[in-house]
Structure 1
């Protein structure tokens, strides 16, 4: 399997894979970061070209997203799928996942100490970082990122391609739209419209999130 990315979040993902006992044949891909060594931690090959990826895909076409940020995760997911890859999830074996009515999309990252309760939907490509809590009847859209310590209370909805900052809290039944950024530590007490940036306690919209790739 190839982890897309060899820095930052990819290192956190490696910790999950190590705890899960899933590092056999593991390699990383990074054609952006300069001055990387040939191997991560002297053990895991770092691929630098698409040709190298193609060679690996001939025997094992699985890949996981080892980067943050919704736009980047979506773009890389599309790119490596078009190259013949199969996007897979990495889920910490100790994550507390509900047993009833839970729907998990493909390509997720579910990190350590995450709680996902019953009757929850998590969309494709989303990232639930360490210590995230997603309570009953929550819907999280595709390629959405919940930063460490985020709490999403019962019945809330988080739209596609949204980003919730560290230690933010979404109150019950609140709806957060598509392509929304919620600041770190914010408490979201009311609905937030699409393409907004909201911060503070309580969270208030301060500007439009001008991500042109979604506004088109």
Structure 2
């Protein structure tokens, strides 16, 4: 049985981590403006740049963005939406996503990340390794949470927020849209 074809936008560090997970389930190709077409990265071909999305849509129906810049990631998703791409979620086999959590589209959940019962994750969210989103917490669209950070029960992380590594967003705390929380910070 052949795998569905998936375009991975971004072949940098984060894009390669996404690719490791995506290639388990999909036949992948990279789109990256900084790479030459027909090169291979992690055994995956580069088939074009962002300007080629319309043409590539004829062959690929699925797309995931593996770029850490929240605003740029959102722009790519919005453009791809107008071209009628679909956006699957990519989750590492070791990640846990509760069947009672809500997860938007185009999200990436890396190894050992955990999304607990009642949590709500927006679209285009990147959850790095070891991230925990506890019961009834909310993470807004296009947020990025780095390694080993915890969003505690009832907390809200706004759209486009960036949470550094080893951070704790305490119970019932709100991180406003677009906020950048530095590494090793507790937000009360």
Q: TM-score, normalised by structure 2?
A: 0.90
Q: What CA distance in whole angstroms lies between the structure 2 residues aligned with 1:159 and 1:129?
A: 17
Partner residue, 1:57: 57
Q: What CA distance in whole angstroms lies between the structure 2 residues aligned with 1:88 and 1:56?
A: 17
User: CA offsets per residue over residues 125-182 of structure 1, 9 Å max, x none?
Assistant: 1111110011111011111111111111111111111000111111111111111110
User: Using CA pairs below 8 Å that are at least 6 residues apart, which structure has the higher relative contact order?
Assistant: 2
Cα deviation, residue 115, structure 1: 0.8
Q: What CA distance in whole angstroms lies between the structure 2 residues aligned with 1:49 and 1:72?
A: 14
Q: Aligned to 1:88, what secondary structure does the other structure show?
A: coil
User: CA offsets per residue over residues 100-124 of structure 1, 9 Å max, x none?
Assistant: 2x11101101111001110110001
Counting matched residue pairs gives: 183
**Residues 1:161 and 2:160 are matched in the alignment:** yes
Q: Aligned to 1:72, what secondary structure does the other structure show?
A: helix
Partner residue, 1:38: 39
Contact 1:150 1:165 in 2 (8 A): yes
Q: What CA distance in whole angstroms lies between the structure 1 residues aligned with 2:79 and 2:53?
A: 12
Moved more, 179-188 or 8-17: 8-17
Q: Aligned to 2:25, what secondary structure does the other structure show?
A: coil
Structure 2: 5+ residue stretches without partners: 1-5
User: CA offsets per residue over residues 179-207 of structure 1, 9 Å max, x none?
Assistant: 11100111111xxxxxxxxxxxxxxxxxx
Equivalences for residues 100-119 of structure 1 within 5 A? 100=100, 102-119=101-118
Match of 1:2 among 4, 7, 18: 7
Contact 2:36 2:46 in 1 (8 A): no
Partner residue, 2:3: none
Partner residue, 1:67: 67
Structure number, greater radius of gyration:
1
Superposition CA RMSD, Å: 1.8
Change (3 A) 1:63 1:116: same
Q: What CA distance in whole angstroms lies between the structure 1 residues aligned with 2:183 and 2:37?
A: 30
Partner residue, 2:98: 98
Equivalences for residues 193-208 of structure 1 within 5 A? none
Q: What CA distance in whole angstroms lies between the structure 2 residues aligned with 1:29 and 1:35?
A: 10
Cα deviation, residue 50, structure 1: 4.9
Contact 2:53 2:80 in 1 (8 A): no
Q: TM-score, normalised by structure 1?
A: 0.79
